[in-house]
Structure formats: C-alpha cells, structure tokens
Amino acid sequence: MNISELVASFGYYAVFFGALLEGETILVFAGFAAHRGMLDISYVIAIAFVASTLGDQIFFHLGRLYGVEILSRFPLLHARVPQVQKMLARFHTPLILAVRFLYGLRIAGPIVIGISGVSSARFAVLNMIGAFIWAVVIALAGYFFGALLELLLKDIKHIEEAILIGILLAGSFLWLWRRSKIKK
C-alpha cells in the first residue's frame, strides 16, 4: 500500500486525531491531499472543526476540574499562568478565539482558560468560532499550497508522494523542535 492509498483510507481518521490535539501539520497535509483528490476538502474542514472543538472543550473542562494540578507538573507553563490570565482579562474574546493559533498554547491555553472562571457556555461558543476559523484557514493553506505547487511544477503527480512525506517530516521536525523548546 503506497502513501496515496494510506491517505485515502485513513486520512480522515488522521485529521480527527490530529486536530483533537495540535494538528496543524496533519491539517496542512490533509488540505494538500484534498487538492490532489485523495480527500474531500469539505470533509477535512468539517472533521477538523469537530475534533478541534472537542479537544479544546476537553482541555477547558480538565482545566476547570484539575487545572492547577495539571499545570504544576509543567513549571514553565505554570509560571505563565498569571501572564495568560492578565491577557485573558484584557483581551478575553480575541484570546479565546485565537488560542489555537498561539505557539505553545494549543493545549495549555484552554486549560488556563478553564482555571480562569470563564463560563462554560461562553467558552463553548467562542471555541466553536475559533475552531471553525482555524479549520478553514489551515486546511485551505494546505489546499492552496497544492495548487501553487501544481502551477509551479505543472505535473506533480510523479512527486506527489514525496511531497506528502516531506510535509509530514517537516511537521514532525517542527513538532519535536517545539517540544524541545517547551521542556527548556
């Protein structure tokens, strides 16, 4: 089974589980795959929206119930809680809408917001709006990346799998680099 067949068979599952956590790389990858005809862009966006919304709701409620305990295990994140809470007090709505776009706050952000006392209903509405914007922007970035490559290279069919592997490798290296920065 080659990469294209794997993407066609398991791509939507990867979008769901990727978007549930951090998922930018998977979503760019899926957008590119949608441009190449392996996935449907509307399904990619819909699945990413649902999974991203669900993931942040889970992290918000974990923050509500166990936030201080969770963050105390990560000293660098715990040290930033007062700063994030000040930002939240000052830029409440924009911060909740944009938290999934902010480096290092994709998971920690909803936990801190859960600690802050924002109502569950308010977070849910703003979370859904932010998840929709995120899913559309990131998936379409991958889709239009595929369109741009096609314009530049004319016939990318023969290197399509190399591009898919390259996107996954680049995303994996970026993820590992981010993780190493967080631990320092």
For residue 138, count other CB atoms closer than 10 A to its CB. Answer: 25
Contact (CB, 8 A) for 12 and 24: no
Cα angle value 60/11/145 (rounded, 5°) = 90
pTM: 0.81
DSSP 3-state of 67: helix
Distance (Å, whole) CA 162 – CA 77: 37
What are the structural domain ranges in the chain? Answer: 3-183
pLDDT digits over 116-158, tens only?
888 999 999 999 999 999 999 999 999 998 777 776 666 666 6
Contacts of 126 (CB under 8 A, 6+ apart): 93, 96, 97
The tens digit of pLDDT for each residue in 74-100 reads 777 677 677 778 888 888 899 899 988
